[in-house]
Structure formats: C-alpha cells, structure tokens
C-alpha cells in the first residue's frame, strides 16, 4: 500500500476550541511504501507558548508537566522545543518540506491526516489558529483507527484504550503527550492494515 500519513496529536488547555488553546503539537510521518519501525519515523514536536492560558481544571492537572516546561520549571528533553504559534507552524511547514512534501502553487501543503478524533477535536483547534489555516490543508478523509476495532453490532465505537487492548496492549507507557499518542495511532492502523 503506497500511502503517506501524517499522524497528528495536540494537547490542549481544555475541550472548547473557541476558548482553549493548543499547548503541545506533535506529528509523525509514516510512509507505507517504505515501512520503518515507529521509533525511526520523522517526528515533529513543539510546545506552544501563548501570552495567557485559558485552562479547564482537568486539563491543567493532566498537563502539569507541559506547563512546567512552558514555565521553565522543568527542563526540555532532547528533541523538545517551545515556540509561539507562528514559530511552531513555520518550523512544521519546513519539516514537511524537508520530508518530501511540496507546497502547491498557492503555498499550501496538503497531507493525509491520521489521528484518533482528528476531525472532531485536533483539527478544530488547529483551524482556530491563523498560522495553521494560512499554510496547511488536510484531505477531508482521514485515517482514524476506531472503525478497525469495532467488533460487533452492539459494540460502541471504541475509545483509544479499548483499541489498544484489542491490538494486544500498549506500546507506549506515556499517554497524553503528542508524539507517543501520534505513534500509538500509527501502531493501531498498522496492526490492522499492514
């Protein structure tokens, strides 16, 4: 199967894209014409700095390590970065170019997204940010692993934890961080499709 996916995950200050913000953005490129181990795939990660943060209590609790890094109280790890939305998405644009994507005549980079709830969550936050809408276009059809793990008539669309259990267990211990979550989506897709 010759397809290249960009698995995207965001961590946010809450659930409402009109009032809450992205505080971490991560993306992993997976070229299925040349399948590589997940840990060898090109990855992009950055925390996003805002002038102020509007935060729901649960998101503040869940993302306290991210806020520690944004505040400087916790050191960044190798490969982690921080930037404003404009800086982050300018670097992501260059990351895609460096990995074979070519801008269209009007300057947009088009890609096939992969993600759990990408269209109903991540993309809504991304589209609320001008640096995103001025540079990127994702195809309307996405690769979401949920349907692949739907088992029977009385089953509900499974959440990530159920998908992981049905794929034989977790491959990353750290959840609610952009890169491990983006790689988990790719693992779930590969487990059923490759």
Contact (Cβ atoms closer than 8 angstroms) between residue 67 and residue 82: no
The helix (run of H) or strand (run of E) holding residue 187 is helix 178-193
Asked if residue 1 has pLDDT above 80, the reply is: no
pLDDT of 180 reads 94
Domain boundaries, the chain: 4-144
Mean residue pLDDT across the chain: 94
Asked if residue 8 has pLDDT above 80, the reply is: yes
Secondary structure (3-state) at 156: coil
pLDDT of 137 reads 94
| Polymer length of the chain | 194
| Alpha carbons 94 and 51: distance in angstroms, whole number | 25
| Alpha carbons 187 and 194: distance in angstroms, whole number | 10
Percent residues over pLDDT 90 in the chain: 87
The 10 Å CB-count burial string (b at 16+, else e) for 94-109 is ebbeeeebeeeeeeeb
Average pLDDT score over residue span 20-37: 97
In eight-state DSSP terms, residue 39 is: G
pLDDT in tens, 121-160: 999 999 999 999 999 999 988 999 999 999 987 888 899 8
**Rounded to 5 degrees, what are φ and ψ at 145?**
-70, -10
The 10 Å CB-count burial string (b at 16+, else e) for 151-176 is eeeeeeebebebbbebbeeebeeeee
pLDDT of 174 reads 60
First to last CA, the chain: 8
Asked if residue 110 has pLDDT above 60, the reply is: yes
Asked if residue 30 has pLDDT above 90, the reply is: yes
- pLDDT higher at 152 or 46: 46
Give the CATH number of domain 4-144; options: 2.60.40.10, 3.30.70.270, 3.30.420.10, 3.60.20.10. Answer: 3.30.420.10
User: Which residue, among 111, 150, 109, 155, has the nearest Cα to 8 in the 3D structure?
Assistant: 111
pLDDT of 172 reads 77
The helix (run of H) or strand (run of E) holding residue 127 is helix 123-127
Cβ neighbours of residue 76 under 8 Å, at least 6 residues apart? Answer: 69, 82
Average pLDDT score over residue span 32-49: 97
């Amino acid at each position: 199967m010759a397809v290249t996916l960009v698995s995207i995950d965001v961590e946010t200050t809450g659930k409402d894209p009109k009032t809450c913000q992205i505080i971490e953005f991560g993306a992993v490129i997976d070229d299925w014409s040349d399948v590589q181990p997940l840990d060898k795939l090109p990855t992009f990660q950055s925390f996003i700095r805002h002038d102020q943060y509007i935060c729901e209590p649960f998101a503040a609790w869940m993302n306290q390590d991210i806020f520690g890094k944004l505040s400087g109280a916790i050191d960044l790890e190798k490969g982690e970065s921080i930037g404003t939305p404009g800086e982050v998405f300018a670097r992501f644009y260059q990351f895609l170019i460096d990995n074979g994507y070519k801008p269209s005549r009007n300057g947009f980079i088009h890609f096939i997204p992969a993600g759990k709830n990408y269209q109903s969550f991540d993309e809504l936050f991304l589209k609320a940010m001008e640096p995103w809408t001025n540079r990127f276009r994702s195809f309307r059809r996405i690769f979401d692993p949920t349907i692949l793990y739907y088992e029977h008539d009385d089953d509900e669309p499974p959440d990530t934890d159920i998908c992981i259990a049905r794929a034989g267990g977790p491959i990353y211990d750290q959840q609610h961080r952009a890169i491990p979550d983006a790689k988990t989506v790719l693992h779930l897709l590969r487990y059923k499709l490759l």
